[in-house]
Amino acid sequence: MIKSISQQLFIASSIIAMSLASLTVQAQSSVWKVSKGNDHIFIGGTVHLLPVSEFPLPKEFNQAYSKSDSIVLETKLPDASDTDFQMKMMQQMTYGQGQTISDFISIKTKQKLSQYISSLGINLAMLEHFKPGFLMTMLAQFEAQKAQLSGEGVDVFYSKKASRDNKSIAYLESVEFQLDMISNMGIGDEERFIKSNIRQMEDFEQMFLAVLKAWRVGDEYQLNTLAIGPMKEDPKTLKQLLTDRNKNWIPHIERMFADTVKSSDKEFVLVGVAHLVGDKSVLALLKAKGYWIEKM
């Protein structure tokens, strides 16, 4: 179970972090062309957890991929056979000194959490040693499996495809960075974090299906309605998952543009769609720096 979860450790960013606002009038896709001078790259908004029924992907993804020499992902996906990584992850994602999530939440919230986990066919005792960020990531995975919506996401699909096609793969963040991010999520604020996430999980299947539909056609207004509302009650997590990382990625993306007219390599950057729209998004930050943004 843990090995399966570690491969999809970062789905929280696509499920609970869809901060979106329109940059263009007509919704077409979740792929953009970013240009400056004579050079350009492609940036695609991904969903990190995607059921088989969502394949094939929208044609704009394959168009951008075919025109690119390499892909760039958020981070290298962990190998399920890497036992050293599994041990490190478990150490980082669990409370120490015999502590559990129950030590940081009220009796009432513990009861709600226990009832919710029981509805998934799981006993709280199996999960209570996990820190809140990882706990909710696991529960999202269980919800997806229960709704038969679990599957490899866009990132995994193109990572495998690039390997087969001998295209190079680069990363915006280290695995260690994302582990730190998830292990620190909700720490010091467990009561509010758990209560907020349980409320959001109550409509998981309906919400996730609606998100998938909106993502597929690039419906930014609908995605905003579905996801930004719930996230407003948790500005700390919004900052951790989205805005801080968006800023950190800009220097990496700017280095992809040619220093001379002789360079013709093209990159296809694939990140959670939440990072790509809104006044603090990657695209908005690039636009403010003079890059031309157009939706494919």
The pLDDT value recorded for residue 214 is 84
* Residues 140, 208: Cα–Cα separation, whole Å: 10
Q: What is the pLDDT of residue 247?
A: 97
Q: Is 152 helix (H, G, I), strand (E, B) or coil?
A: strand
Those residues of the chain that have pLDDT short of 50 are 1-27, 261
Q: Rounded to whole angstroms, how far apart are CA atoms 276 and 272? A: 8
CB-based contacts of 293: which residues, under 8 Å, 6+ apart? 23, 32, 33, 34, 283, 286, 287
pLDDT of residue 164: 97
pTM of the model: 0.86
